[in-house]
A = this chain, B = another copy of it.
């Protein structure tokens, strides 16, 4: 049965998934420089940027696992871009250049409708103003039997966690201290009671925790 998964979701040692003051030239905000350095260092992170080389080992294995058998992605509006409110035009097409690394249908949660559009490499962005349950249904349809990944940001992951809809959350703790920002684990109420951590491994650079629904 197709599953809803989160991968490589990275938080600081003090629990922050973003810093403060997120904006176009700082998608994750201030205070979290190097949050994803562990991933950029891997072969996966190199390939993502069209580079040769990169590290092998456990980080590479975990980074790569995030793409296995994933047929569609859901993300929040802020993960798609810095534009807030109604779309002034359709010029913003994501943070990822002409060839986004998704290569499948991506569903963006937003209160503001916008036509779908296709990018090079097989990524099509869709905009879902009808709430997270609708996005979930559309994503599973598009994934056609494969799993669906929730990309982020933290608010979007929390929304699905709180509802107990995520099957597997692969968390990365990087040894940085942000001091402020947005947490992943916050205001989850009883939703988190359905989950347990089944694996805790530290690589050369970060700690990987695998959290699954009981």
Give me the interface of A with B, judged by CB distance under 8 Å: 13-15, 171, 173, 175-177, 179, 183, 185, 188-193, 195-197, 200-202, 206-207, 209, 211
DSSP class of A's interface residues: helix, strand, loop or mixed?
mixed
Give the complex CA separation of A121 and B174 in angstroms. Answer: 41
The answer, among B173, B192, B209, for a CB contact under 8 Å with A179, is: B192
- Which residues of chain B come closer than 8 Å to A15, judged between CB atoms? 14-15, 183, 185
Which residue from chain B places its CB closest to the CB of A187 in the assembled complex? B180
Contact B14 A209 (CB under 8 A): no
Partner of A202, one of B171, B192, B193, B200: B200
A209 CA / B174 CA spacing, docked (Å): 10
Q: Which of B175, B196, B201 contacts A177 (CB 8 A)?
A: B196
Q: Which residues of B contact A175 (CB under 8 A)?
A: 197, 200, 209
How far apart are the CA atoms of A173 and B175 in the complex, in Å?
12
List 14 A-B residue pairs with CB atoms under 8 Å apart, sorted by A's residue number: A13-B171, A13-B197, A13-B209, A14-B15, A14-B185, A15-B15, A15-B183, A176-B197, A177-B192, A177-B197, A179-B188, A179-B192, A200-B206, A201-B202
